[in-house]
Structure 1
Amino acid sequence: MTAVSSVSAGSSDTSGSSDTLVPSVSRVQDGASDTTRPTRSQGEVIVVTVAALVVAAVGLYMVRSLVAPAFFALTLVVTIRPLVSWAARHHVPRGIAAVGAIAILYAFVLSLFAALGVAVAQLVDTLPGYSSRFQQIWADIERMLTSMGVDQASLLDQATSALDTSRVVSLAQTLLEQLTSAGSMMMIMALVIVFLMFDTMRIEGRVRALTEFKPEIASAMTGFAASVRSYWLVSTTFGLIVAVLDVFALWALNVPMAVTWGVVSFITNYIPNIGFVVGVIPPALLALVDSGPWTALWVVVAYSVLNFVIQTLIQPKFTGDAVGLNTTTTFVSLMFWSTVIGGLGTILAVPLTLFAKALLIDSDPRSRWVGIFLTAGDQPLKEQEPEAPDALGGPGKGPERLRS
């Protein structure tokens, strides 16, 4: 009996040792397969990534008339989505809350396009009356150059023909025609707003499923929603403040069409980096032909002071932490997106860049280091665990941010 027991124990020890050998053999086989698996160099990965981005950009360019208004509608729905959630928490039916949010978005978009159309129409009606004044200013410049002994007659002729009032009016008429033909774009925006608003009335289950299966992507998309929401709200608020102050400044300087230039200033505020320059040129030129160079200079000074104080010193304190893009990244994205999707890309440059960053960088820990070169300031990369987002409009931590 003792011999049998010892044999049984020996056999059990042998089986135990064989069990321990199986994982070891499996690990050896896995290691061998890993060594035989082909790996790509960093240069190959970069080349493939750049090629894919170029192909994607060409594809977006081909369908820009659909992508631009659809993405604009998406950002607007994401921005107003917390209002629907707030109304639902206060026992308002989700359908009624969604209809109210759609009405608010429609009113905002229509008022924006209507104000821009009225501004361009007033510009077309007003500019022809200053044709003689334009000619007088150029004649004075020509006489001044002649008295200084500078022979610039041919150059002045070319400049005069280039800045002729008829050409300016023609350009304004072209802009008005483009606004008139923007009906199709507004229709696409209107339809996408309706579809997205009703599709996202109850989205919590899908968000929880995405958080369970792909937590990094869910966290990145939540961060994008929070960033673009903050960007639109803060840009609209400060753009309205700057526009009102610009109107008062133009009224004080007796510049014609002050309200029109205020509307232009409000719209160009959405264009990053160069929006201020685009907004100050028309009122400065009109002040030059209407009241002289000193008034035009004061217009530039007033716009510069207001822009520096509000948009350079105050506004970044509200948008910097949410958006977090440095000036170079913003300017390059402005040039890129305006080329890819047209004029609307100047307004959507920052939201499109935030979306691309969330989708390609923040959602993948391996590529998150690229975000270091896109953010403002000297900020280290801080890791954080992704948190389940609350649909498209509730609280929740976004992607890993680059914070100090």
Structure 2
Amino acid sequence: MKKQVNFARPIFLLLLVLTIIVMAAVFKVTSSVFVPVTLAMLISLVFEPLIVTWNQKFKIPWVICILILLTLVIISVGVIGSLLLTSIKTIVDLYPKYEERFMTIYKTIADIFVLPYNADDSLFQNLWSQLGVRQALQNYAFSLSNSLIGFLKDLMLVTLFSLFFLFDLRYLRQRLEYAFEGSSKGKLTVMITDIIQQVTRYMSVKFFISLLTGLIVLGGTIAVGMDFPVLWGFLAFILNFIPNFGSIISGLLTSVFALVQFWPHPAPVIFVALLMIGVNFILGNFLEPKIQGRNLGLSPFVIIVSLSFWGWLWGFTGLIVAVPMMVILKIVCENVSILYPLAILMGNSTQPVTVDPQPAADNTVPNSAETGEKNGPLQNE
């Protein structure tokens, strides 16, 4: 007798791959819709613990907490925006000064590497003749202007979505318990609760560590007398949301500008470079993991691939949401039996998650820290 082959698993995996491709195409085409919604959800998860604290500790009504928080955010964004616009305007006004500094540095480099140098041409004319970067700079400037216009256009949408999602978060967990009835109710509610808890913790810790990074960079650049300290602090805050690469880019940009401003004096440049390295190293490698607690369990390779994928999909916003999206995907894979091997491959440990096939007996939804990650994968019916 011929042995019967079960094609259910290969067919399921094939359909899963095709579904992922179709969803990626949909997310790419409809990015103008999904990007503001995703940002609003993540921002809401950042501020939810603060609202809960105000509500429980100070007995402030949930609605009043949201309105106070919204007012503070609008004031902060307005102040930071005006300071950034002032810094950019000042940069434009002082451009001749910095071009002269750039020309001095470029002449030194040209003398060292025996590059052609024409004193009658401007800096960019010399660079364009040597490196051919004119078209690249034009394309980058056009792309940056479009991104800024798009960001300003989406800012109101993100604020509005965040407001309504914060109102909705108050009863979200209760609705989840009512929504998923049946044998899988316990597992589904635990999975979704775990997603909310992990993403909320990650985004909250990342937000406040990034804010602390920006404030330290702001204070350090003010102390050394560097121009546009608000701009460098803001860049450190924003780019710190991008794992691994964001802090490197921020440090390089700030250090290069310090070199241009303080040339040929090395002491302030060394101070700024050490400041950027020290802040990102201490906060990123010691303070953040200590506050974060349980590791997110993602492989460094998975993080890099996710940054590439989500960056291609949604640009700069994709780089920010890449890690939370992969955390959500990993938790889903941990709780679905046929996808459980993917969760192990995505992890950074050789120890698989121990499973408990029995759902919670009561109506209380335990979190992952209380259960010690004993929540097993959902069995396919």
Conserved? CA contact 2:84–2:230, under 8 Å: no
Whether 1:333 and 2:298 are equivalent positions in the alignment is no
- Partner AA of 1:356 in structure 2: L
Cα distance in 2 between the residues matched to 1:351 and 1:117: 31
Shift of 1:51: 2.0
- Partner AA of 2:100 in structure 1: S
- Partner AA of 1:70 in structure 2: V
Cα distance in 1 between the residues matched to 2:278 and 2:363: 41
2:162 to 193, 196, 200: 193
Larger Rg over CA atoms = 1
Shift of 1:268: 0.8
Conserved? CA contact 1:230–1:322, under 8 Å: no
Quickly say closer, same or farther: Cα 1:400–1:83, change in 2 above 3 A: same
SS at match of 1:348: helix
In structure 2, the residue matched to 1:135 is: 103
Shift of 1:74: 1.0
Cα distance in 2 between the residues matched to 1:287 and 1:84: 40
1:384-395 aligned within 5 A: 384=356
- Partner AA of 2:109 in structure 1: I
Whether 1:144 and 2:144 are equivalent positions in the alignment is no
Shift of 1:184: 2.7
In structure 2, the residue matched to 1:376 is: 348
In structure 2, the residue matched to 1:349 is: 322
Whether 1:54 and 2:21 are equivalent positions in the alignment is yes
- Partner AA of 2:158 in structure 1: M
Cα distance in 2 between the residues matched to 1:185 and 1:329: 29
Quickly say closer, same or farther: Cα 1:286–1:81, change in 2 above 3 A: closer
Cα distance in 1 between the residues matched to 2:270 and 2:132: 23
Cα distance in 2 between the residues matched to 1:120 and 1:177: 17
Shift of 1:143: 2.0
Cα distance in 2 between the residues matched to 1:247 and 1:389: 48
Higher mean displacement: 55-64 or 85-94: 85-94
SS at match of 2:147: helix
SS at match of 1:66: helix
Higher mean displacement: 135-144 or 110-119: 110-119
In structure 2, the residue matched to 1:363 is: 335
Conserved? CA contact 1:228–1:354, under 8 Å: yes
- Partner AA of 2:156 in structure 1: M
Conserved? CA contact 2:213–2:280, under 8 Å: yes
Equivalenced residues, count: 359
1:66 to 15, 30, 33: 33
In structure 2, the residue matched to 1:40 is: 7
In structure 2, the residue matched to 1:244 is: 215
Whether 1:76 and 2:43 are equivalent positions in the alignment is yes
Cα distance in 1 between the residues matched to 2:113 and 2:180: 70
Higher mean displacement: 74-83 or 95-104: 95-104
C-alpha deviations, 1:237-265, integer Å up to 9, x for none?
22222223323443454432233212211
Higher mean displacement: 290-299 or 212-221: 290-299
- Partner AA of 1:132 in structure 2: E
Shift of 1:58: 0.8
In structure 1, the residue matched to 2:64 is: 96
Shift of 1:389: 8.5
Conserved? CA contact 2:46–2:207, under 8 Å: no
- Partner AA of 1:290 in structure 2: Q
In structure 1, the residue matched to 2:254 is: 283
Quickly say closer, same or farther: Cα 1:157–1:297, change in 2 above 3 A: same
Cα distance in 1 between the residues matched to 2:203 and 2:194: 14
Conserved? CA contact 1:220–1:363, under 8 Å: yes
2:204 to 219, 228, 233: 233
Conserved? CA contact 1:87–1:97, under 8 Å: yes
- Partner AA of 1:196 in structure 2: F
Higher mean displacement: 287-296 or 189-198: 287-296
Quickly say closer, same or farther: Cα 1:106–1:63, change in 2 above 3 A: farther
- Partner AA of 1:95 in structure 2: V
Cα distance in 2 between the residues matched to 1:341 and 1:206: 30
Cα distance in 2 between the residues matched to 1:377 and 1:220: 20
- Partner AA of 2:285 in structure 1: T
1:150-229 aligned within 5 A: 157-158=127-128, 175=144, 178-210=147-179, 212-213=181-182, 214-229=185-200
Cα distance in 2 between the residues matched to 1:243 and 1:231: 18
Query: Unaligned stretches of 5+ in structure 1?
Result: 1-34
C-alpha deviations, 1:348-397, integer Å up to 9, x for none?
111222233334x1331332232222233443312246558989xxx734
Conserved? CA contact 1:255–1:283, under 8 Å: no
1:323 to 291, 296, 308: 296
Shift of 1:45: 3.9
Cα distance in 1 between the residues matched to 2:363 and 2:140: 47
Conserved? CA contact 2:45–2:203, under 8 Å: no
- The higher relative CO (CA closer than 8 Å, separation ≥ 6) is in 1
In structure 1, the residue matched to 2:123 is: none
TM-score (norm 2): 0.78
Cα distance in 1 between the residues matched to 2:194 and 2:91: 41
- Partner AA of 1:140 in structure 2: T
Query: Unaligned stretches of 5+ in structure 2?
Result: 119-125, 376-381
Conserved? CA contact 2:83–2:230, under 8 Å: no
Cα distance in 2 between the residues matched to 1:142 and 1:75: 47
Quickly say closer, same or farther: Cα 1:111–1:206, change in 2 above 3 A: farther
Cα distance in 2 between the residues matched to 1:245 and 1:95: 33
Quickly say closer, same or farther: Cα 1:243–1:187, change in 2 above 3 A: closer
